Amino acid sequence: MHIPVLQKEVLQYLNPKPNENFIDATCGEAGHTLAILEKTSPNGKILGIELDPELYQKLPRFHLGKRGILVNDSYSNLKEIVERENFKKVSGILFDLGLSSWHLEESKRGFSFLRNEPLDMRYNFQNSLTAEKIINQWPEEKIGKILKEYGEEKFARRIAKEIIKARKVKPIKSTLQLVEVIRRAISPKYRFGRIHFATRTFQALRIAVNDELENLKKVLPQALEILESGGRLVVISFHSLEDRIVKNFYRSRASIDLKILTKKPVGASSEEIKINPRSRSAKLRAAIKL
């Protein structure tokens, strides 16, 4: 069962009221979408955006009813989507930047290092770049750079070197092949740390394949422009790179047209982490448009 992360906190900071309109820019499995919609009855509407066409087809249209508008597109095109759908008077926008449970457990696209799957990692099949292409075609220096910058991986250069060595013998096509390459590249004492030794490499590849950080930088100014005065912007991020982008954007607009509601990022409670361990790295930042 899908558990939307920080749902109580999302509702607290978005503060949806009857008849207000909201945007869930990362609809996923619609957990947050439905919770917001419930608070905005009888006439409030929600615009849900989902990039992945397969996940988009699974969205619970029946439960959203006539008050839910669903779009299969990238949130980086937010302003264009809003204009196309004529979706006005927006009281709040939510971005949940986390990977959905469905992507990890059911998509079979190589997002998880715990399953043997093809190295794809695309949210959108129109994107021609895959993790397999990066691993097997990119030069060592470029692979090392994304592992260091996007994964903050301390063994980035060693992993990149081992990837080049391995692919000369045989193309690296599956997740478990890549995990074995990473295992060989790192020091033995780091193979049994608090987080799995492949986590940062897989994160870096996913970010690179889907251009996640650039899309986030592109959309935040659009979101602020779309919001009504008094409208709220809530972003949930799952690693320091995303969180830094959100924090810096809020601070850059704080004295102009934005009031920050969260001095520090809000995390999941210990109770939520017990129920949903993936929520442990979630960080929520909220702001209100002046």
What is the full DSSP assignment across 23-86?
Answer: EESS-TTSHHHHHHHHHTTTT--EEEEE--HHHHHTS-HHHHGGGEEEEES-GGGHHHHHHHHT
Q: Is the fold of 7-102+212-289 the same as that of 108-210? A: no
Can you tell me the mean pLDDT for 260-275?
94
User: Domain 7-102+212-289: which CATH class?
Assistant: alpha beta
Is 186 within 8 Å of 197 (Cβ atoms)?
Answer: yes
Confidence of residue 187 (pLDDT cuts 50, 70, 90): confident
- Which residues, including other chains, have CB under 8 Å from residue 250's CB and lie 6 or more apart? 258, 260, 285, 287
Task: Please say if the pLDDT value at position 1 is more than 60.
Answer: no
Report the predicted TM-score, pTM, of the whole model to 2 decimal places.
Answer: 0.94
Can you tell me the mean pLDDT for 4-22?
97
Task: Please say if the pLDDT value at position 161 is more than 60.
Answer: yes
Confidence at residue 100, expressed as pLDDT on a 0 to 100 scale: 86
Show binding-site residues: 30-32, 50, 75, 96, 103
- 19-38 pLDDT per residue, tens: 999 999 999 989 999 999 99
Each domain of the chain, given as residue ranges in start order, spans 7-102+212-289, 108-210
Task: Please say if the pLDDT value at position 278 is more than 90.
Answer: no
Fold of 108-210: DNA polymerase; domain 1 (1.10.150)
Find the range with the poorest average confidence among 136-145, 246-255, 269-278: 269-278
Show binding-site residues for S-adenosyl-L-methionine: 30-32, 50, 75, 96, 103
Confidence at residue 2, expressed as pLDDT on a 0 to 100 scale: 62
